[in-house]
Structure 1
Amino acid sequence: MDAHIRDLRYFLATAEELNFTRAAARLFISQPALSKQIRQLEEGLRVQLFRRDRRTVALTAAGTALLPRAREVVARWDEAQRAVSDAAAAEAAVLTLGVSTSVGRGLLPALRARFAELRPNWSVRVRQVPWDDATAGLADGGTDLALLWLPFPEQESFAVEVVATEPRWVALPAGHRLAGAAEIPFAALLDEPFLALPESAGALRDHWLAVPERGGRPVRIGAVVAGADETFEAVAEGLGVVLLAAGNAALYQRPGVVARPVAGLPPSRLAVVRRADDHRTVLRDAIEAVRQAAPADA
């Protein structure tokens, strides 16, 4: 039987962890599913690869012999995938960058300029993805790279690099009692209705509601919003207030909306994110362009 690359990846994870539960978690599959695949691989090869008892897992002689060869096969396949992806991408010559909101402080124009220096025949297409996809298109392959505010759901499954930190501000209706303040203590906002991201945004929803800084005090939700335009229309209508990064305050100026710095909150963090198994060279250049274009921390 010819083993599939997937089977070899499952074998490698199990051989490196020597624990089916940890290996299954690493592979994002269930432990019974992993055990079934390993048994099928063993049956196909007609050997036993692991010795198992209730407490330990160990490689057999056959498993030990397979281990370096499986690593080589998987590494060569990954290299082949990168070459194919690079060739296909070079033909398209368009890098799709996912964002959930606009990004302030001139980062996107600077990114395009730096990327053009590194990849003269390429262009960057920015795709704005609604907040119900917290990965801005990475999870379903709709984008190549993303600029995301942290944290986001399943963040540990992606390659994440923080490129900027910015204080959190608050957007308020222009007639709000705090709109004239130069700076607003977060404690003064605790009883305000807040605009919330969809629940699918998980930890990022909590970040923009400042849940960790509330000391267990419940959040008043004025409305759930799916995108930036909807958010600031809701602010102008008086449905609630919303936290935002300082660099985005100027981008989202609207009649009837003011933005003020908030004291007492840790800063927001902006990261460049890619899929962990996507090692295309064009992404390395794009990430380097982001590093060069990123503004100094505010």
Structure 2
Amino acid sequence: MELQTRQLRYFVAVAEELSFTRAAQKLHIAQQALSAQIKQLEQSLGVTLLVRTTRSVTLTAAGAVFLDDTSTLLAALDDAAERARATHRSENERLVLGFLEGAALTLTEPIMSAFRDRHPGVTIEMRQFNYDDPSAGLNDRSVDVAFVRRPLTTDGVDFEHLFTEPLVALVRTDHPLADRASVDVADLIDELMYGAVTTDPAWNAFWEFEAHRGGKPGRIISHSKTLLEEYQKVAAGVGIVATVAAARWVSYPGVKTLPIADADPSEVALAWPRDTDSALVRSFIDAAIRVRDGRPDLVKRLEEPDPDERTMPTLIPY
């Protein structure tokens, strides 16, 4: 009999929540897919673990026993994996840094340089993530530290604020709003929009202006993984995209960027596992704080961008 660790984690989530809906939201997967995985697990074991009705989910006696042992097993596996990663890091002196497109923009290079000055022998392995994982590898612990954009849904993660960046709308140059110098959120909420390929509810709510819709769903016509894909869809179709002011550095035929005057800004932060014991991570955090506080000129340029600035600075030092 072969049991998948993923199925065990899914079972523990349902057993703890006693709700497929809440467990699916916590795991960031579809409820139907979660139910199918639990059924496969029960078939592999040959026992019923959960009793489902239209109103409740309860553990069977076998399920309660299995939950206790499975929780212990998964905790031991996680501890073993973390010890292995910690040993690997100490042996190889490597810091794994996750980031989304643009990372920390013009703060990225100074932060990286400040860290390298402290640790010239340490290798920084940079891993780029798309919109399908806005945690930039933190949710599955595949990175040590990450540049992220909030809000996003995470568990057991701490943040250090770096800066906030205004939002802009990407529209076709023949769009009725394209002749405007700026727009308000109210001008956009009834427009067809391109969303992001992610199941993170906090991320989607922010970028799709859920707080401004009065309970009405957004008119999302397609989902994208990258900023370039968003540009391509806007240029080829009829929808718009809400994104960050750094998009002004991207020149794409047929697409115009419009500042969104009253939108909440996007927060760029450094994030790391709350339970980390890595001295390298702590040093990287400190380097980032010192650069942020020591370069108010760069922070101001990001928080109060010149819409006419079109020259793209160095963002990611390879």
- The TM tier, using the shorter chain, reads 0.5 to 0.7
Q: Aligned ranges for residues 126-141 of structure 1 at < 5 Å?
A: 126-141=126-141
Name stretches of at least 5 consecutive residues in structure 2 with no aligned partner.
1-15, 18-25, 27-57, 73-78, 293-297, 304-318
Residue 142 of structure 1 and its aligned partner are, at CA, apart by 2.1
Instruction: Give the number of the structure whose alpha-carbon radius of gyration is greater.
Output: 1
Task: State whether residues 132 and 225 of structure 2, in contact with CA within 8 Å, keep that contact through their aligned partners in structure 1.
Answer: yes
CA deviations over 1:155-212 (Å, ceiling 9, x no partner): 2421222221112111222222222322111111122111111241221011111111
Aligned to 2:21: none
Residue 284 of structure 1 and its aligned partner are, at CA, apart by 0.7
AA of the residue aligned to 1:130: N
- For 2:240 and 2:122, locate their aligned partners in 1 and report how far apart those are by CA, in whole Å: 40
Task: State whether residues 165 and 267 of structure 1, in contact with CA within 8 Å, keep that contact through their aligned partners in structure 2.
Answer: yes
Aligned to 2:299: 296
- For 1:124 and 1:253, locate their aligned partners in 2 and report how far apart those are by CA, in whole Å: 30
Name stretches of at least 5 consecutive residues in structure 1 with no aligned partner.
1-20, 23-27, 41-77
- For 1:265 and 1:105, locate their aligned partners in 2 and report how far apart those are by CA, in whole Å: 20
AA of the residue aligned to 2:166: P
> Residue 267 of structure 1: which of 254, 265, 268 is its match?
265
Aligned to 1:125: 125
Residue 33 of structure 1 and its aligned partner are, at CA, apart by 7.0
- For 1:253 and 1:105, locate their aligned partners in 2 and report how far apart those are by CA, in whole Å: 17
Aligned to 2:181: 182
TM-score, L = length of structure 2: 0.63
Q: Aligned ranges for residues 1-298 of structure 1 at < 5 Å?
A: 36=68, 88-103=88-103, 105-153=105-153, 155-246=154-245, 248-294=246-292, 295-296=298-299, 298=303
Aligned to 1:43: none
- For 1:33 and 1:100, locate their aligned partners in 2 and report how far apart those are by CA, in whole Å: 41
Aligned to 1:17: none
Using a 3 Å threshold, how does the CA distance of structure 1 residues 198 and 86 change in structure 2: closer, same or farther? closer
TM-score, L = length of structure 1: 0.67
Task: State whether residues 104 and 251 of structure 1, in contact with CA within 8 Å, keep that contact through their aligned partners in structure 2.
Answer: no
- For 2:188 and 2:101, locate their aligned partners in 1 and report how far apart those are by CA, in whole Å: 23
| Residue aligned with 1:296, SS | helix
| Residue aligned with 2:283, SS | helix
Residue 111 of structure 1 and its aligned partner are, at CA, apart by 1.8
Task: State whether residues 133 and 198 of structure 2, in contact with CA within 8 Å, keep that contact through their aligned partners in structure 1.
Answer: no
AA of the residue aligned to 2:112: R
- For 1:96 and 1:239, locate their aligned partners in 2 and report how far apart those are by CA, in whole Å: 39
Aligned to 1:61: none
AA of the residue aligned to 2:118: L
CA deviations over 1:44-76 (Å, ceiling 9, x no partner): xxxxxxxxxxxxxxxxxxxxxxxxxxxxxxxxx
Residue 225 of structure 1 and its aligned partner are, at CA, apart by 0.9
Using a 3 Å threshold, how does the CA distance of structure 1 residues 188 and 230 change in structure 2: closer, same or farther? same
| Residue aligned with 1:255, SS | coil
RMSD over aligned CA atoms reads 3.4
Residue 87 of structure 1 and its aligned partner are, at CA, apart by 5.8
CA deviations over 1:230-255 (Å, ceiling 9, x no partner): 12211221342111222x22343322
- For 2:179 and 2:124, locate their aligned partners in 1 and report how far apart those are by CA, in whole Å: 40
- For 1:157 and 1:226, locate their aligned partners in 2 and report how far apart those are by CA, in whole Å: 25
| Residue aligned with 1:180, SS | coil
Matched-pair identity in %: 26
- For 2:205 and 2:191, locate their aligned partners in 1 and report how far apart those are by CA, in whole Å: 15
- For 1:212 and 1:171, locate their aligned partners in 2 and report how far apart those are by CA, in whole Å: 20
Residue 296 of structure 1 and its aligned partner are, at CA, apart by 2.2
Pick which of 133-142 and 269-278 moved more: 133-142
Residue 293 of structure 1 and its aligned partner are, at CA, apart by 3.5
Count residues in correspondence: 235
Task: State whether residues 183 and 263 of structure 1, in contact with CA within 8 Å, keep that contact through their aligned partners in structure 2.
Answer: yes
